[in-house]
Amino acid sequence: MRLSRLIPVVATAVLAAAPAHAQQWGGPLFSSPLDQSRFEILSSDANGAGMGIAVAVRPFSRVADLRLRAGIMDGLGTGPFSEAITSRRREIAYMAGIDYAMPLNPQAGGPVRASLVTGLGVGVNAETVVSAPLGFSIAYDGGSIRPYMTPRVVLEHHSGPAPYVGPWEGRAVVDWGVDVSLPVGGTLRAALTTGSYKAFGIGLSF
């Protein structure tokens, strides 16, 4: 399959971004220390509550581990305009964020690599959620197949009309991911999130 045909197929398949209440870090972080892509179409469906798509770019060649994200989500409404759970409507939410990975063993030999990961994200619909992850990622370089895991803690702050105002809350999650090099170019990315969030993500990077 040519790359020009593969892109719309994958883009359709990844229409499942994190819902507003889970925000930037509710789904997989896609934070393999082996990843060196410049542009990504990334998506995740956290707790089965929303559909959407997000893109990520690394705009600074001298800071290759700095990544910017933006996306739009269609999540089941949880804000003040929602009625009972049986009549919840869908609410459009917008997300933006930045994440950074610091290599922990950049000069080490062998196939194993590790990095510290952190960032800051915000999502807005009926409420606003600010979230920040902190953890580490470890990967195995298996050539065309590169598995990795990312245990992390996510701090979230919800604000909006009562009762949607809350203090910072901590959540513990682990991403289990794999990157697969494609023969047509680019990398297919997939990850599963377990812990406080239950999520699955898939994406395409170049």
Give CA–CA dist 120/6, Å, rounded.
31
DSSP conformation class of 126: S
Tell me the pLDDT band of 17, cut-offs 50, 70 and 90.
very low
Q: What percent of the chain stands above pLDDT 70? A: 70
CA distances from 24 to 9, 44, 77, 86, 114 (A): 24, 10, 17, 26, 22
Between residues 130 and 182, the one the model is more confident about = 182
In terms of C-beta density within 10 A (0-12 exposed, 13-18 middle, 19 or more buried), how is residue 131 classed? buried
The pLDDT of residue 16:
30
95-146, pLDDT tens digit by residue? Answer: 899 999 999 876 767 899 999 999 998 888 777 888 899 999 999 999 999 9
The pLDDT of residue 8:
41
42-58, pLDDT tens digit by residue? Answer: 887 766 556 678 899 99
CA distances from 138 to 90, 111, 171 (A): 37, 11, 20
Least confident residue range of 65-74, 110-119, 157-166, 183-192: 157-166
The pLDDT of residue 163:
54
* C-beta of residue 40 within 8 angstroms of C-beta of residue 205: yes
* C-beta of residue 130 within 8 angstroms of C-beta of residue 26: no
The pLDDT of residue 162:
55
Domains and CATH numbers, the chain: 3-205 (2.40.128)
Mean pLDDT of the chain: 77
pTM across the whole model? 0.78
> What element of type H or E holds 7?
helix 3-13
Tell me the pLDDT band of 161, cut-offs 50, 70 and 90.
low
Q: Give the list of residues 6+ apart from residue 171 with CB closer than 8 angstroms, or none.
A: 153, 154, 155, 156, 195, 196, 197
Using only C-alpha atoms, the chain has a radius of gyration, in whole angstroms, of 17
pLDDT of residue 156 exceeding 90, the answer is no
Tell me the pLDDT band of 158, cut-offs 50, 70 and 90.
confident
In terms of C-beta density within 10 A (0-12 exposed, 13-18 middle, 19 or more buried), how is residue 109 classed? exposed
The pLDDT of residue 63:
76
The pLDDT of residue 134:
94
> What six digits make up the tokens of 171?
């959540």
Between residues 92 and 36, the one the model is more confident about = 36
